[in-house]
Amino acid sequence: MFEPFGKIRWEIMRNFIFSCNPEDKIIIDLGAGNPAITDGICCKKRIKVDIDTSTNPDIVSDLEEGIPIEDNSVDICVASEVLEHIYHSKKLISEIKRTLKPYGILILSVPNICSLKYRFAFLIGKIPAHAAKADMFYKDDRRGHIRDYNFKEIKILLEMFNFEVLKSKSDGLSFKGKTIISPFILPKTFGDAIIIKARVRK
C-alpha cells in the first residue's frame, strides 16, 4: 500500500526530534506552516516562526532577515522545506547556529536535486516540478525554490558553521502524491528529500 507523499519525511523528522528527548527542550520551528511538524510534540517550549500570518505563528518573520531570537536560547531547531526558499543560505545557517545552545540540534529537510525522479526529468529535457525555476513560473509573486541541494552540498554548508551531521536519510521516491519506493530499498542519494540531524560541535 502506497504512503501519502510527505508522510515518511514527517515521520523521519519527528523521530529525529523524539530521539532528542524533547520534553525538557526549547524547540524553534522555522517556516512552521499549519500543521507544523512539531505540533503535538511534548516539549518545554515551542516557538513557531513563519512569514505567513495565516498559519498563526508565534513570531512573524522573514527568515532572509534573520531569526528574532536571543543567542544560545534554543535546544532544537527544525527547518522543514525552508532552506531551498532562502537566497542567503549561509546567513540562515549562521543564524540557526547563533540561536542554538552549545551542542544544540538542527533537524532539516530539503528537496534532493539528485533524486531519481529529478534525474529522469533532466534526461528528457524537463525541469523537475520542485527544482528552482525562473520567477515567471511561480504564482502570485510568491518566492519559490531559490536553491537546489544534494547530500554533499548540505553537509559542506553545515560543516562551514561547525555543525556535525549525525544522521542523514531520505524519504524514498514518490509519484503523483504517493510514495512508490521505500527509503529502506532506495539508496538515499536517489530519494526525493534530504533529511538531516546535525549538532553544533561547541
pLDDT of residue 89: 94
Q: Which three cell numbers stand for residue 9?
A: 519525511
Give mean pLDDT, residues 173-201.
92
pLDDT of residue 137: 63
* Segment 79-100, tens digit of pLDDT: 999 999 999 999 999 999 999 9
pTM of the model: 0.91
CATH-assigned architecture of domain 3-200? 3-Layer(aba) Sandwich (3.40)
pLDDT of 166 above 70:
yes
* Segment 130-152, tens digit of pLDDT: 788 776 666 665 667 889 999 99
Q: Is residue 48 a contact partner of residue 57, using CB atoms and an 8 Å limit?
A: yes
Host H or E run for residue 117: helix 116-123
